[in-house]
Amino acid sequence: MIERLRRDAGQAFPIYVVMVAGLLFLVFAFFAVGKASALRNGAQGAADAAALAAAQQNREDFAAGFLASLPGNMLEQFLQAHLVNGCPAAHALAAANQADVNGCWPTLGGYRDQIKVEVQGRKTVDSSVIPGTEKTVAKATATAIVEFRCPGWKALDFNDDGVQDLYIFTCGDAGMVEIAPGSPPPWSQVSKILYDVHLVDN
């Protein structure tokens, strides 16, 4: 009877080894999946930050062209045909979030410009149980919009000389802005009212 129990125990031992090995494999596999998911979320965060940075840089760089367009009564054309390359800001924000920019595409859209950014993370999944993950990195894209939000603007010519002396922008909940071409306010004070920057779904 004792001999039989010993034989049964000897036969069961390899099964235990296989079961333990299988459980360990599953643990490492789940860990790899979790790491890949975390890296994907990190890459998406970097893409979002990079796209927003590029769009905000665009908004800040509108100043020269915007104010130059006022005296010549070219404001309408400017509002529908402005585009500044904010991609360098996207590279800087991606790098700050441990990622690199694979592509940055500004697109002109009338009153609504957009910038799409694609990034890839710098850290690899590098799982010992999943072949090919040594060089696998997370990638993500994000698109930000720079949108003029003051469609109710009007121009006033006080001297009837054909030169606009004052522009009044009504921007809904964002407020109202008055700009006199002869003495325009600092762009930093008005840009966030005139233009909204936000992310959109890709």
The string of pLDDT tens digits covering residues 153-199 is 888 888 887 778 888 988 888 788 888 888 888 888 888 888 899 99
Tokens 């994907």, residue?
A: 40
Phi first, then psi: what are they for 90, rounded to 5°?
-65, -45
The string of pLDDT tens digits covering residues 65-80 is 777 777 766 777 777 7
Top-confidence residue, 50 or 72: 50
Q: CA torsion sign, 107 to 102 to 86 to 173?
A: positive
Q: Reply yes or no on whether the pLDDT at 34 is more than 70.
A: no
What local confidence, expressed as pLDDT, does residue 162 receive? 75
DSSP letter at 185 equals P
Do the Cβ atoms of 95 and 51 come closer than 8 Å? no
What local confidence, expressed as pLDDT, does residue 5 receive? 43
Top-confidence residue, 191 or 52: 52
Give the range with max mean pLDDT: 4-13, 27-36, 136-145, 171-180. 136-145
Q: Six-digit token pair at 162? A: 């054909």
Q: Reply yes or no on whether the pLDDT at 152 is more than 90.
A: no
Q: Six-digit token pair at 41? A: 């979320």
Residue 4: is it exposed, middle or buried by C-beta count within 10 angstroms (0-12/13-18/19+)? Answer: exposed
Mean pLDDT of 95-120: 88
End-to-end CA distance of the chain: 71
The string of pLDDT tens digits covering residues 78-103 is 777 666 678 899 999 999 998 999 99
Give the CA radius of gyration of the chain: 29
What local confidence, expressed as pLDDT, does residue 49 receive? 94
Do the Cβ atoms of 172 and 76 come closer than 8 Å? no
Q: Six-digit token pair at 25? A: 């494999």
Q: Please give the Cα distance from 146 to 188 (Å, whole number).
A: 15
Q: Please give the Cα distance from 123 to 95 (Å, whole number).
A: 12
Bridge partners of residue 146, in order along the sequence: 113, 197
Q: What is the mean pLDDT of the chain?
A: 78
Q: Reply yes or no on whether the pLDDT at 57 is more than 80.
A: yes
